[in-house]
A = this chain, B = another copy of it.
Amino acid sequence: MTERLVVIGGVAAGMSAASRARRLRPDLEILVFEKSGFVSYGSCGLPYFVSDIIKAPENLVVYDAKFFKEKRNIDVFTHHEALKIFPAKRTLLVKNLENDKEFEVQYDKLVIATGARAVRPNVKGVDLKGIFTIRFLEDGIEIKSFIKENSPRKALIVGAGYIGMEMAESLVSVGMDVLIVEQMPNILGTMDDEINEVVEQELQRNGVKLLKSTSVDEFIGENGYVRKAKLSNGEIVDAELVLIGAGIKPNSEIAKEAGIEIGRTGAIAVNQRMETNISGIYSAGDCAEAFHLVLNRPVYIPLGTTANKQGKVAGENAAGGNAIFKGIVGTAVFKVFDLEVARTGLSEKQAKAEGFDYVSTVIEHGSRAHYYPGGSKIRVKLIADRKTGRLLGAEMVGRDGVAKRIDVFATALHAKLTIDEIGQLDLSYAPPFAPVWDPVLIAANDLEKKIKK
């Protein structure tokens, strides 16, 4: 009998797993069940679809179900929801959402790539029309057509995280007035103040209002459409379109019910082979934990890159291979208006909370030779262990050359380099691309002085 691999979820991790397994095992039967109508799309591109930089939703799709069937012999079932896993008999209960029929499929190997869902605050009026989260391609399509049909002028964004920032740019670009409310006293979660203040200035420069330590108490509607929001500070603000970017939660319930171990983060616990505690069942992507190489423990930092890497490893092992996913270092980057904001490893806030004895520095230096046009100041914050000098984390913000510079620090974190070693890296230099002392080196050399003291 043909061996069968079943994959739950067909976006980043799921399709990576299926594709990898197919490459190694032409004989394997591979079935993918995806709840939504699309597979293999770049959800990180949704803000740019809303702002119309990307015209058609199909442009975000890497490959469609037809491609996977014809080119890779992978059976993709869209609009199919996985309801329950029966590990003892190795079956999965699936519901066809188009005809509501349920059926059970047998599997030899199972990859759980159920992803995550956006958190919606439990306040009055949250189900009014015009209130969105942005997670699935369908969300992007709905928001875009809502804007087209209703021409909202006043947008309210709940949550000043990455998605909130990207969507602020997106909604301003299509002509809306944007207010962001953030319930924490600072934006961007664990990012440090020296970076956040630059981001706040950029929001202001682009007319985006920001209220920190503020949440929404109630959404107020008219004919079923959201019109206003009552804030925790008592203010009532216009809100003709609301975007909720208040975090995401792993879809780990189906795993938990099947007796699969859930980590302390609430996501599915996996080892370096992406195996769960139940033999033959793997997990990858936004529903799973990842091992953090600086913190030395599993964390929940769901990102597309990690999902792809984990999916590939899960697929290889499910196909009988022997792949290892070593872990992440917490790298992230986003664009907000003309700013590039990036981080890797631990922020100072995190280093402090984790009890590290650390030193830190903040420097500013040009992205190109001082005499070459197009350059811009980059602000770099570095955090290192005081005793060993080992890099713990880096944050950067600027208008030019930030995104890929953070990768030097990410690589340094993987290699556990010290600040002393980073300060001597033989980095590329030519006037159009960098100053002779790259901001990366300037920051490291500055921090080294503090370590030597």
Contact = CB atoms under 8 A, between A and B. Distances in A.
A105 interface: no
Interface stretch (A75-83, A232-240, A301-309, A356-364): A301-309
Interface stretch (A194-202, A255-263, A328-336): A328-336
A427 interface: yes
A326 interface: yes
Given A403-B434, A426-B344, A428-B404, A45 B372 contact: yes
B333 A428 contact: yes
A373 interface: yes
Contacts of A68: none
B436 A12 contact: yes
Nearest to A406: B428
Interface stretch (A29-37, A95-103, A111-119, A411-419): A411-419
A371 B41 CA distance: 11
Contacts of A436: 12, 42, 44, 304-305, 308
A383 interface: no
Interface string A294-319: 00000000011110110000000000
Contacts of A408: 404, 407-408, 411
Contact of A430 (B54, B62, B403, B428): B403
Contacts of A429: 44, 303-305, 331, 333
A433 B414 contact: no
Interface string A389-424: 000000000000101111110111111010001001
A431 interface: yes
Contact of A53 (B48, B373, B426): B373
A187 interface: no
Contact of A431 (B48, B421, B430, B434): B48
Nearest to A440: B407
Interface string A345-375: 0000000000000000000000001111100
A421 B42 contact: no
A425 interface: yes
Nearest to A431: B45
A432 interface: yes
A224 to B, nearest CB: 33
Nearest to A58: B371
A86 interface: no
Interface in A421-453: 421, 424-434, 436-438, 440
Contact of A404 (B44, B325, B401): B401
The 6 closest A-B pairs by CB, nearest first: A415-B415, A403-B433, A333-B428, A404-B404, A411-B411, A305-B429
Given A45-B369, A407-B427, A414-B426, 5 more contacts: A44-B430, A48-B432, A309-B424, A404-B408, A414-B417
29 contacts: A42-B369, A44-B429, A44-B431, A44-B436, A48-B372, A303-B429, A304-B429, A305-B436, A308-B436, A308-B437, A326-B421, A326-B424, A327-B426, A329-B426, A331-B426, A331-B429, A333-B428, A335-B432, A340-B433, A344-B426, A403-B434, A404-B404, A407-B407, A407-B425, A407-B428, A410-B427, A411-B412, A414-B415, A415-B415
